[in-house]
């Protein structure tokens, strides 16, 4: 199983994963993160400046998994800053707005 390749740290987790949310500004990356980690929703979520992250522990097939989910800023001016956060990530989730034509 792909969980086995992760290194062990001194905590109670079987596996750890760094996952990034990426996409244009205003598509809902922060809202997805808050809903998944805190089960909350803010109608007027402010834009992320730089990056933010949250940690969520989940159970996958009896293994305790620690997800560190990074919310990257969608604005163009932060592109060079956020690209460095991809290093060491095991997954990327591309978030987009299907109603935007551009």
Burial of 36 (0-12, 13-18, 19+ CB in 10 A): middle
User: pLDDT tier at 49 (50, 70, 90 boundaries)?
Assistant: low
Q: Is residue 9 part of a domain?
A: no
| 5 inside domain | no
Taking the C-alpha atoms of residue 24 and residue 99, their distance in angstroms, rounded to an integer, is 13
The C-alpha atoms of residue 48 and residue 71 are separated, in whole angstroms, by 8
The structural domain count of the chain equals 1
Res 46: pLDDT: 74
Evaluate whether residue 36 is within a structural domain: yes
CA-to-CA distance for 39 and 14, rounded, in angstroms? 24
**Residue 60: CA atoms inside 13 Å, Cβ hemisphere, count?**
15
Domain of residue 71, CATH code: 3.40.50.300
Domain encompassing residue 43:
26-94
The residue written with tokens 């929703």 in the block is: 41
Q: Is the pTM of this model over 0.85?
A: no
Examine residue 13 and state whether it is found in any structural domain, yes or no.
no
Is 11 contained in some domain?
no
More confident residue, 91 or 39: 91
């Amino acid at each position: 199983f792909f969980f086995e390749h992760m290194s062990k740290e001194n905590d109670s987790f079987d596996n750890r994963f760094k996952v990034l949310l990426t996409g244009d500004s205003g598509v809902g990356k922060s809202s997805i993160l808050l809903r998944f980690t805190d089960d909350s929703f803010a109608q007027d979520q402010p834009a992320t400046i730089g990056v933010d992250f949250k940690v969520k522990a989940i159970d996958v097939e009896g293994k305790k998994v620690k997800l560190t989910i990074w919310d990257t800023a969608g604005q163009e001016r932060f592109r060079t800053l956020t690209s460095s956060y991809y290093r060491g990530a095991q997954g990327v989730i591309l978030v987009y707005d299907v109603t935007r034509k551009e």
